[in-house]
Amino acid sequence: MALPPLSPEQRRAALDKAAAARKERAAVKDALKQGKLPLQEVLASDSEAIRKMPILSLLASLPGIGKVRAQKTLTELEISESRRVRGLGSNQRERLLAHFVPQG
């Protein structure tokens, strides 16, 4: 199915929206990596840009966790690597938090 043709203004608006979403996701991943933002807050976010982020990408940005460890963890927790933040069920969300957030 072909996409409808966009006017130059519509195309520019779509490109700007996509760039803003990429910037927001990059800022969130950077804040996670530096320990400035807790995982619970990211998983509870209402931001559409964050909700569309792949969970593998999100976990790989945690301190001390790379892509390989994130893949292994998702496999252990029985969560698909292609799952996005908004697609996590409540049980999957709980398992992730139990695995990555220290209980104290």
pLDDT per position as a tens digit, 2-31: 778 889 999 999 999 999 999 999 999 999
SS3 state of residue 54: strand
| 47 has a pLDDT exceeding 60 | yes
| The two three-digit tokens of residue 46, written as one number | 């209402």
Which residue from 15, 16, 82, 90 is spatially nearest to 53, judged by alpha carbons? 82
Average pLDDT value for the chain: 91
| Domain tally, the chain | 1
Express each pLDDT in 69-98 by its tens digit: 999 999 999 999 999 999 999 999 999 999
Q: What is the CATH number of the domain that holds 41?
A: 1.10.8.50
Does a structural domain hold residue 2?
Answer: no
The Cα 81–Cα 55 span in angstroms is 7
Does a structural domain hold residue 57?
Answer: yes
| 103 has a pLDDT exceeding 80 | no
The whole-number pLDDT of residue 100 equals: 84
